[in-house]
C-alpha cells in the first residue's frame, strides 16, 4: 500500500480535456480520434455486462489493477506493476484516457484517481457511464471489454499523498485543517447496518464526517460544481484539506472526483479504507450518527 502524508494537489484537466469529467457528447465526438483510449473500470457484479463502448478496454480493478499480495481488497499496485498493466492496455504517455463503468458513477472514478496518482493528467471520467451513453442512443459493441493489440509506453510517476495509509488518517483526524469524509452509507457509518465484509467492526472513525457517495450525484451523474461546493462545504466544515474513505477505496474516489469539481486543491484517498480500519485493532471506532 502506498503511504504518503501530504494531499495531492489536483489540477483542472490536461490537453483538450475540459476537466476531470466529460459528457457523452464530448466522448462521442472524439471516440475514433487517434490517441483516445476508453477504459471500462466496472467492478463486481457490474462487470457482467457483455457490451461496451466501441473499442473500450478492461481496466480490471478487481484483478490486475489490485495488489493481491496485500490482504485487503482493491489495494493500489506498486508503480512498476501499474505501469506494466497500463502498457498492456496500450496506453501511451500522449494519449487522452476516458474511464467509465456500467453502473454510472461508481468505480470509474477509482480508475481515474489511480491513473492520476501515477502522475498522468490526461484522464477523465465519463459522466453517467455506460447508462448515459446508451440513453443517448450512442452505439455499443456486444463484446466484453478486452485488451489492446499493441503495448503502450505509459510511465508511472507516483504523486505523493494521492493515496494514504492509516497513520496519515490518524494525523488527519487530529488536524483542525483537515476533514476526513466517509463515503459509506449512513447506516454503515452509524454502525446500525452490518458490514458486507466479514470480521469488520461497525461504526466510523471518531471525528470523521459522513458523506455517502450517492449524495454527490443526481440521476447517475455528478452534481453541478456549485451544488458540490455546498455539499462539501457542509460536510467539511470549511476545512480545506480532505481525506476521503469508504469500504475498500473505490467509492471514496467518487468523493475525490466531486471534491476536485468543487475546487478543492488537496485531496487524499485512504487506500485501505474501512477494510483496514474496521479490522480488530487499536484503531479507534465509534458508533452512532
Cell of 197: 465484509
Residue 20 CB neighbours (<10 A): 24
Residues annotated as catalytic (active site), given as ranges: 246
Beta bridge partners of 244: 181, 269
3-state secondary structure the chain: CCCCCCCEECCCCCCCCCCCEECHHHHHCCCCCCCEEEEECCCHHHHHCCCECCCCEECCCCCCCCCCCCCCCCCCCCHHHHHHHHHHCCCCCCCEEEEECCCCCCCHHHHHHHHHHCCCCCEEEECCHHHHHHHCCCCCECCCCECCCCCCCCCCCCCCCCEECHHHHHHHHCCCCEEEEECCCHHHHHCCCCCCCCCCCCCECCCCEECCHHHHEECCEECCHHHHHHHHHHHHCCCCEEEEECCCCCCHHHHHHHHHHHCCCEEEEECCHHHHHCCCCCCCCECCC
Half-sphere exposure of 151 (CA within 13 A, CB side): 7
Give the dihedral sign, CA 94/95/98/101: negative
Amino acid at each position: 500500500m502506498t503511504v504518503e502524508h501530504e494531499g495531492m494537489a489536483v489540477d483542472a484537466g490536461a490537453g483538450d480535456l475540459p476537466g476531470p469529467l466529460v459528457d457523452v457528447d464530448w466522448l462521442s465526438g472524439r471516440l475514433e480520434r487517434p490517441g483516445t483510449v476508453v477504459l471500462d473500470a466496472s467492478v463486481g457484479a457490474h462487470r457482467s455486462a457483455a457490451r461496451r463502448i466501441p473499442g473500450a478496454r478492461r481496466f480490471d480493478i478487481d484483478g490486475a489493477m489490485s495488489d493481491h499480495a496485500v490482504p485487503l481488497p482493491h489495494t493500489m499496485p506498486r508503480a512498476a506493476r501499474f505501469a506494466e498493466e497500463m502498457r498492456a492496455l496500450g496506453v501511451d504517455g500522449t494519449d487522452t484516457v476516458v474511464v467509465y463503468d456500467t453502473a454510472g458513477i461508481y468505480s470509474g472514478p477509482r480508475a481515474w484517481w489511480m491513473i492520476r496518482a501515477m502522475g498522468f493528467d490526461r484522464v477523465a471520467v465519463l459522466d453517467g457511464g455506460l447508462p448515459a451513453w446508451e440513453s443517448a442512443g450512442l452505439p455499443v459493441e456486444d463484446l466484453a471489454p478486452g485488451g489492446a493489440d499493441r503495448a503502450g509506453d505509459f510511465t508511472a510517476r507516483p504523486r505523493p499523498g494521492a493515496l494514504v495509509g492509516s497513520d496519515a488518517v490518524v494525523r488527519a483526524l487530529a488536524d483542525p485543517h483537515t476533514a476526513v469524509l466517509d463515503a459509506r452509507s449512513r447506516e454503515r457509518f452509524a454502525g446500525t447496518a452490518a458490514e458486507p465484509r466479514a470480521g469488520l467492526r461497525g461504526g466510523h472513525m471518531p471525528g470523521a464526517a459522513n458523506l455517502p457517495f450517492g449524495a454527490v450525484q443526481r440521476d447517475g451523474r455528478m452534481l453541478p460544481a456549485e451544488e458540490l461546493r455546498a455539499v462539501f462545504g457542509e460536510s467539511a466544515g470549511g476545512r480545506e484539506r480532505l481525506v476521503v474513505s469508504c469500504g475498500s477505496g473505490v467509492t471514496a474516489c467518487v468523493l475525490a472526483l466531486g471534491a476536485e469539481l468543487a475546487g478543492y486543491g488537496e485531496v487524499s484517498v485512504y487506500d485501505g479504507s474501512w477494510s483496514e480500519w474496521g479490522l480488530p485493532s487499536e484503531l479507534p471506532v465509534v458508533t452512532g450518527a
